[in-house]
Amino acid sequence: MTLDPNFEFGSATGETFNKAGKTDIQLRYDSSVIFIAECKFWSGEKNYLGTIDQLLKYLTWRDTKASVIVFVKQKDFTAILDKVDSVTKVHPNYLRFINRPDENWFNFNFHINEDKNREVKLAIQLYHIPNSN
């Protein structure tokens, strides 16, 4: 609800079907999908890589930009950032590291599942939301 009025030149929806499932965030412009994101809470390296798998299943050949948004409740946020930095590279669709525009934001190139020559820009963004206990 909050995204759509703020996305001036297209539409933003949540829990929207794309290819093989419902993605958490989808941005469309001129009837084309221009961005897809999946949101998760950090629950370990295995689940993080599984989230990338999940997102890649939603991407079609035309999709070129996607993101995994991770919310981290654990106190040692730096350790989680280090894990993301190292474990992302073991994913079978990983191609290369692009850059790190901020401490909590990584940009990578991956390939889609059906075509090893079709690249997608995958942003991994982590946000620390420590428990208030």
Q: Is the pLDDT of residue 35 over 80?
A: no
Specify the pLDDT at position 15.
47
Q: Indicate the pLDDT class of residue 7, thresholds 50, 70 and 90.
A: very low
CA distances from 72 to 21, 75, 79, 107 (A): 24, 8, 11, 18
Q: Is the pLDDT of residue 2 over 50?
A: no
Q: Which domains does the chain have, with CATH numbers?
A: 15-128 (3.30.460)
Query: C-alpha angle with apex 55: 54 to 61, nearest 5 degrees?
Result: 120
**What percentage of the chain carries pLDDT values higher than 90?**
61
